[in-house]
Every structure is written in C-alpha cells, then in structure tokens.
Structure 1
C-alpha cells in the first residue's frame, strides 16, 4: 500500500478508472483494524494494482467529491463517476469480494 501525500497525485487517481484508495483518519481505531484487514487481502492476492492510502484530514474536499460520509472508506474509482465505496469492513472476505 502506498500513502498519498500529494494533491496532484490524488487528483490524478480520482480521474483514473480502477484506482483503489483507502481513506482513514489517524486517531480512528476502526480505521486501523480495517487497514490491517486490507493489508491481509492485498498480501494474499498478487494484485497488479497498487492500493493507495489517504489521510482524509489532509484532503477534506475529497470526501465531498466522492460522497464519503465516514471513515474507514475503501473506494474503487469507476468511469463516469460510478465509484464504488465500502464503509462496512465486516471481514477480510467482505473486502476481498468488494475488490474483485
């Protein structure tokens, strides 16, 4: 997983179909658990694409653009603003199914 710290990179990813971005805030304990589960999924699969992580505190405008209402949130960018967002990180299986 790769952390996003650059405004230009996040803008580029938001326009690129298939981008996978995990949004969190640093003091959110649920986010830490969700990130561990996401890490398990990405390590178990030999994924060709990178999963990006993004501290939503640095990019609050992204929440409005994508309709993120809470964290943790896992987003897959689609074409024509048909983005998919997962808010309920119930299990590793749930995350794996969402990404496939």
Structure 2
C-alpha cells in the first residue's frame, strides 16, 4: 500500500479483516502501511458502509476542487482590483 491515496474498497477490506480478528501489527505488515494510517482509518471509517465511504470521498474531492476554484477566483479578483485602481490613476492623470 505505497500509494498516497487508497481506494475506498481497499480501506473497507482492511478494516473488515481487522474486525474479523486479524492483529493490527499483522495487517500493517501485510499491507505495508504505518500503524498511524491504520488507526486514522479505523477512527474515521469503522462504522461507515462502502457506499457511504465512497460518497465521503466524492464530497472531499469536490470540496478540494471548490477550494482551489475559490483561491483562483480570489487571485483573479485581486488582480482586477489592482487593474481598476491603475486605470483610475491613469484617467485621473490624463484629466489634469
């Protein structure tokens, strides 16, 4: 499990193995992941069904995209505001 992002089905599979009695150390060794990652998954997803987990991942991805869009739009807005100020200064300089 060296990938940065694990598929929802794989997370659920690993958590099911844990619920079926496989030791945390063995699971982490089997899938090559740190205990901290497993514990985070267990805390976050232990009571969630596969379809709910998929929906959560979709919403997290949508949230990430929207945050990026907001950041891009904020930058564009700041640039446009600076441009308006510059134009006002130029127009003011031409009138005098």
Q: Name the larger-Rg structure.
A: 2
Q: If each structure's helix is expressed as a fraction of its own residues, which one has the higher value? A: 2
Higher relative contact order (CA 8 A, sep 6+): 1
Higher strand proportion: 1
TM-score using structure 2 length:
0.29
Taking structure 1 as the reference length, what is the TM-score of the superposition? 0.28
